[in-house]
Amino acid sequence: MNDKKVVGEKAVEYVKDGMVVGLGTGSTVFHTISKLGKLVEEGLSIKGIPTSKQTEKLAKEVGIPLVMFNEIEQIDLAIDGADEVDDDFNLIKGGGGALLREKIIAKAAKSFIVIADPHKRVNKLGAFPLPVEVVPFGFEMTMKHIQDLGCSPHLRQNNGIPFLTDNGNYIFDCHFPKISQPGELEKNLNLIPGVVENGLFVGMADKVITLNREKTIIINGRV
């Protein structure tokens, strides 16, 4: 069984005719978008708003009509993956480099569904290095300020040169020993000049779809 395919396709059940849907980025949501493309071909009427150029390309390939923010009043539902999910539904995202657009869309959505294969579930965030998006200007100084918060930041690179996000920014992958207060860390990171956004998504997920050890689908939601 492909865990990512199972949870990715399960999320599609929450998509209804006429919705504006935020389309996430990554290997799990790939299956969501592929399934939605098949349903659109069969008559489902939706509009998608992508979180990355990669997702935009995939959505066009499978036939999902896309819109821009200036064409819509709201996003009804956003579906995206995560690199880590804790017991309070807090997330680390940004392993694929799309964290800023992902957070903009998740915040704008009436409902935000997270799809995650079982090994993404953790008791405490922090085993996965936290991505922090920064502007290139003065990034060396920005790194020092991030480091002062108690982590070891590493500039993400691609073939020996700094990785660039879709927004033309850099990413630091930050290794914290543990993240016991994700809400406080999220705010402190975003107070640093040069930091554009960080990959902590605190209190944003409304539902998390995953599997248990027996490979049964589990859907947890906020009360």
93 is in an annotated binding site: yes
Catalytic residue among 56, 84, 102, 186: 102
Smallest CA-to-CA distance from 25 within 89, 118, 77, 100 is with 100
27 is in an annotated binding site: yes
80 is in an annotated binding site: yes
83 is in an annotated binding site: yes
Q: How far apart are CA 55 and CA 78, in angstroms?
A: 13
184 given a catalytic annotation: no
95 is in an annotated binding site: yes
28 is in an annotated binding site: yes
Q: Provide the 10 A C-beta neighbour count for residue 31.
A: 21
96 is in an annotated binding site: yes
List beta partners, residue 179. Answer: 125
82 is in an annotated binding site: yes
Q: Is 133 helix (H, G, I), strand (E, B) or coil?
A: strand
With b meaning 16 or more CB within 10 Å and e meaning fewer, what string describes 180-209?
eebeebbebbeebebbbbbbbbbebbbbbb
51 is in an annotated binding site: no
Write the DSSP symbol of residue 117: -
What tokens were used for 203?
A: 């209190």
Q: How far apart are CA 179 and CA 209, in angstroms?
A: 23
Q: How far apart are CA 132 and CA 130, in angstroms?
A: 6
The amino acid present at 15, given as its one-letter code, is V
Residues annotated as catalytic are 102
- Residue ranges at the known binding site for substrate: 25-28, 80-83, 93-96, 120
- Binding residue ranges: 25-28, 80-83, 93-96, 120
